[in-house]
Structure 1
Amino acid sequence: MLFWQCIVELFHFTFLIHFVSAMPNWLLPENIADVLPSEARKIEELRRAILDNFHLYGYELVMPPMLEYVESLLAGTGADMDLRTFKLIDQLSGRTMGIRADMTTQVARIDAHLLNRNSVTRLCYSGSVLQTRPNGLHATREPLQIGAEIYGHAGLEADAEIQELALSTLSLAGFSQVRMDLCHVGVLRALLESDPNAQRDEAALYTALRAKDVPTLEVMTAVYAPVTRAALLVLPTLYGNADVLQRARAVLPALTGITKALDELAILVGLAGKADVTIDLADLGGYQYESGTMFALYVPGLPNAVARGGRYDHVGETFGRARPATGFSLDLRELSRLLPVAGRKCAIHAPWGRDAALKEKIIALRQAGEIVIQSLPGSENDQDEFECDRVLVLENGNWILKNLG
C-alpha cells in the first residue's frame, strides 16, 4: 500500500511540475490584472482631480512605503488585516515584513511619530495596496487606495468635514445618486461596559450582530442583565431611514454613551446634503478598529460600498502618541470601472524632421497644452487614446496647422 501511495504522489508531483512549466509566462495571478491605456488614463485623471480637491480643503500629501515591519504595519488593526496582508522575510534584518493591505495605519504612524505636531493635521494619500484575498467576487487584489485623514481634533466637526469631503469626492467623479449608511460603535461599547458578561463575549457579539443572527444572539445573551439582553436583541432591527434614531432612543437604555452616539448620528444625518441616508446600528464593519461614527457610501452599479470612513482615535497609541483621528478611503480602480469610457484626446499629427522651425513649433504647441505626435520614419501611428484632428504642414516656408476631415 505504501509503495502505491508513493507512486501516486510522485505522479501528482510530476503532473504539477509539468503543468506549471507549461503555463504561459504572461499569465498573471488570480485577481491581479494590467491596466490598459484607456482605463489607466481614466484612473489617473480621477486621481489628480480628487487629490486637487483634497488640496483645496488643506490636506497635505504623504507617500508611505510599500512595505514595512509587520509590528508597525498591523498595529491596532485586528486579526482581519493580519489575514489580508502578504508577509515576507527581510534578507537584511531577518525580520518579518508586510506588504501594505491598507494605508490608514501608515498615515497614522506618520502623524504620530514623524510629523509629531500638536496642531490639527490634515493628510491625504494615494497608492497601490496588495491583499491576500479580494474583497468581492470580481474585485482586484491590488486596489489603488486614495483617502484623507484628520488628526488632532476629537470633536464631531472633524467627522463632519470628512463626511463632506467623501461626498464631494463622489460628486466630483460624477455620481449624483449616493446612499450613505451611518453607524456608531459607541452604542455597542456602552452596552458592553454596562455588563461584564457581555464584555467577555465581545468578539462573538460583534460577529453575530453584523450577520444579524438573532437566534445566536438569543442563546449568547441568556445570562446577561435583562436590559443588556433586550438592547442587544433589538439592535439588528434598528436599521432604515433617519427615523431609526428616534426609535432607538425609545427602545435602548439611556446610557451616556448611547445618547452621545445617537446625538452625533443625528447631526451627521443633517449634514448629508442630497445623499440618501440610512442608519444601521448593527452594521459594525471595522468595529475593532473604529472608535466612533462610521459611514459607508454606495453608488448605483456596485453592490459593495465604494468608500468607507470613520473615527479611529486609538491607532496612534501603538506608536507612542494617541491622537484623535477620523478619515475615509476608497479604491480608485473600482470607482473608475463605474464611469463611462473616456473619449479619445484630440491631438496634432506632425511629421518627423530635424528642421529647427518644426521643432520650435512643436515645442510651442506642447507648452500651450496641445498633444503633438510625431510620425517616426517608416512607421504608422496606431494609438487608441488619441484622435489626430489636425496636422502640421509646411507651406511657403512656414509650419501651419490644418484641420483633418
Structure 2
Amino acid sequence: MRKQSNLLPEGFHDALPPYAEAASRLERDVLDTLASHGYARVTPPLAEYEDGLTDRMRGASSSDLMRFVDPISQRTLALRPDMTMQIGRIASTSLADRPRPLRLSYSGQVLKLRSGQLQPERSRLQIGAELIGNDSVIAASEIVSVAIEALERAGVSGITVDFTMPDLIDILAAGPLPLNEAQIAEVRGELDMKDAGGLNAMGATGYLPLIEATGPFDEAMVKLRRFDMDGLLNSRLDGVAQIAESIRGKARLTLDPTERHGFEYQNWFGFTLYADTFVGALGRGGSYEIGHSDGETEAAVGFSLYPNPLINAGFGAKTNDQIFLPLSHDRSAATRLREAGWRTVAALSDKDQAKALGCSHILNGDQPEPL
C-alpha cells in the first residue's frame, strides 16, 4: 500500500527520463529559434503580489489564481497562471526606456488552480515571445511566422493556424447589430457553440452568418466579406488576410472569426496553433495592449506555446548511443567519445552490466563496440 506522503496533488507529476530531458531540449530548441529572430530572454518570478497580477489580467479569470499569504510582507501572493502579463509589467517598468519595438522571449512553469479535461496538468510549461510597441500587420506576420518556425524546430509537422477576431462582436454590437452587455455575453456563448437555434431564439439573427463564416480560410473569408456589406470590418479583414498570405504554404489556414476562448485580452487579431495527431491547441497568440502606470497603453503582439503534449509524445527526445565504460577504461578515449556526442556510463564495480544500464555499446580499448 502506497504511503500518503508519497502521493502528489491532483494535476501534478514528476518528469522522469527521458521526458525531463526531452522537455529541456525542446525548450532550448524553441528559445534558440526565438533568439535567432532577436527576441531577448527575460525570466519573471514564479509568484507576485495578487493585486499586481489581477490588475494586469485584463479579462482573464482571477478565480484561477492559487493564493497564499507572504509571511514576510503579510500580503497576499499569487502563483502566476500565465506569463504574458508579467512580460507586460517588465516592458512597462524595468524596460520602459528601451527602444521600441521591444522583442522579448520567456519560458517557465505556470500554475492553474484547476485542471481541465483536455489539459489535466495544473502545472505546465509556457514558452513565448512578445513584440512590444507595434501591433501592425508586419509585426503580427512576424509573430505568426516565428511561432510556426519554433514548432517546426521542435519537430512538429502538419501545423494549422486558426485565425480569429477577438473584438468582432464588440464592434458589431456597438454598430450595425446592437446588443447590451448581457446580450453580448449570450451571443458569444451561442456563437462558441455554433448554435443557430439559440441565436434565433434570442432574436440575434443578424449574427447567424458568422457561424457559416468558419472553416478553411479562403472560403470563410469570402463569406465574412459578404457579411460585411457596410465595409465596417474592411481594415481588420484586410489585415488578417495579409497575415494569412504571409504564411501561406507554411501551415494550413482556417478562420473562426468569433472564437473567444483564450483570447480574453486580445483585440483586433488572434490565432491558435494546432498540429496533426494532437488534441487541443499547442499555442495561442494575438494583438493586445499593455497598460502603463501613467494610464497610457502600448500596442503589442505575441504568442505562447504550451508544449506539454509534445513532450509527452517524445518530441525533443534524442536517441544518442550510450556506451558502457568498464573498470580501468581508457579515460582519454572516453573523453574523445563524449566530445563526439556519445553518452558514457562508467562502471562503478565489476557487478555493473552494460545492458542493464541502458547502454548500446561497450568501450573496447579505444573503440566503441556494439553489444
Deviates more, 1:371-380 or 1:358-367: 358-367
Partner of 1:17: none
SS in 2 for 1:345: coil
Instruction: Classify the secondary structure of the residue corresponding to 1:349.
Output: strand
**Comparing both structures, which one devotes a greater share of its residues to helix?**
1
User: After superposition, where does 1:176-215 map in structure 2 within 5 Å?
Assistant: 176-194=157-175, 198-201=179-182, 202-215=184-197
Distance 1:48 1:291, change over 3 A: same
Q: Which residue is equivalent to 1:55?
A: 35
Within the candidate set 217, 223, 236, 1:247 is matched to: 223
Q: Deviations over 1:281-336 (max 9, x none)?
A: 121224431112111111122221111111112x3346855221111111122222
**Which deviations, in whole Å up to 9, do the C-alpha atoms of 1:209-242 show, x marking residues without a partner?**
222333443454x4xxxxxx55423222221222
The alignment's C-alpha RMSD in Å is: 2.8
2:123 aligned with 1:157, yes or no?
Answer: no
Structure 1 residues 385 and 56 mapped into 2: Cα distance closer, same or farther (>3 Å)? farther
Q: State yes or no: 1:262 paired with 2:242.
A: no
For the 8 Å contact 1:74–1:82, the answer to whether it is kept is yes
1:91–1:195: structure 2 CA closer, same or farther, 3 Å change rule?
A: farther
Which one has a bigger Cα radius of gyration? 1
The corresponding residue for 2:359 is 387
Q: TM-score, normalised by structure 2?
A: 0.88
1:83 aligns to what? Answer: 63
Pair 190,197 (structure 1): closer, same or farther in 2 beyond 3 Å: closer
Q: 1:183–1:47: structure 2 CA closer, same or farther, 3 Å change rule?
A: same
Query: If the length of structure 1 is used for normalisation, what is the TM-score?
Result: 0.81
Number of the residue aligned with 1:148:
129
Q: How many residues were matched structurally?
A: 367
Structure-2 separation of matches of 1:336 and 1:277: 25
Q: Distance in 1 between matches of 2:369 and 2:345?
A: 15
Cα deviation for residue 197 of structure 1 reads 5.2
Corresponding residue of 1:172 = 153
SS of 2:93 mapped into structure 1:
helix
Task: Determine the C-alpha separation between the residues in 2 that align with 1:387 and 1:319.
Answer: 61
- 2:247 corresponds to 1:281: no
Partner-residue secondary structure (3-state), 1:292: coil
Match of 1:292 among 268, 273, 288: 268
1:172 is matched by which residue type in structure 2? R
Instruction: Give the aligned partner of residue 64 of structure 1.
Output: 44
Deviates more, 1:176-185 or 1:209-218: 209-218
Provide the identity percentage.
28
SS of the equivalent of 1:97 reads strand
Instruction: Return the match for 2:102 from 121, 134, 141.
Output: 121
The answer as to whether partners of 1:345 and 1:385 remain within 8 angstroms in 2 is no
Q: Counterpart amino acid of 1:244? A: A
Post-superposition Cα deviations, 1:68-112, rounded to whole Å, max 9, x if no partner, equal: 012222334256431222111111112111111111111111111
Q: 1:135 to 1:261 in 2, by over 3 A?
A: farther
Shift of 1:184: 1.1
Q: Distance in 2 between matches of 1:55 and 1:128?
A: 20
2:369 is matched with 403
Instruction: Give the aligned residue type for 2:346.
Output: Q
CA separation of 1:79 and 1:288: change in aligned 2, threshold 3 A:
closer
With over 3 angstroms needed to count, the CA separation of the structure-2 counterparts of 1:361 and 1:71, relative to structure 1, is: same
Deviation readout 1:116-159 (Å, 9 max, x if unpaired): 12411111111111111224345311111111111011311111
Contact in 1 for aligned 2:282/2:307 (Cα 8 Å):
no
Deviation larger for 198-207 or 96-105: 198-207
- Give the aligned residue type for 1:77: M
Question: In 2, distance between residues paired with 1:78 and 1:166?
Answer: 24
| Inter-partner Cα distance in structure 2 for 1:263 and 1:273 | 15
Kept after mapping to 1: 8 A contact 2:168/2:268: no
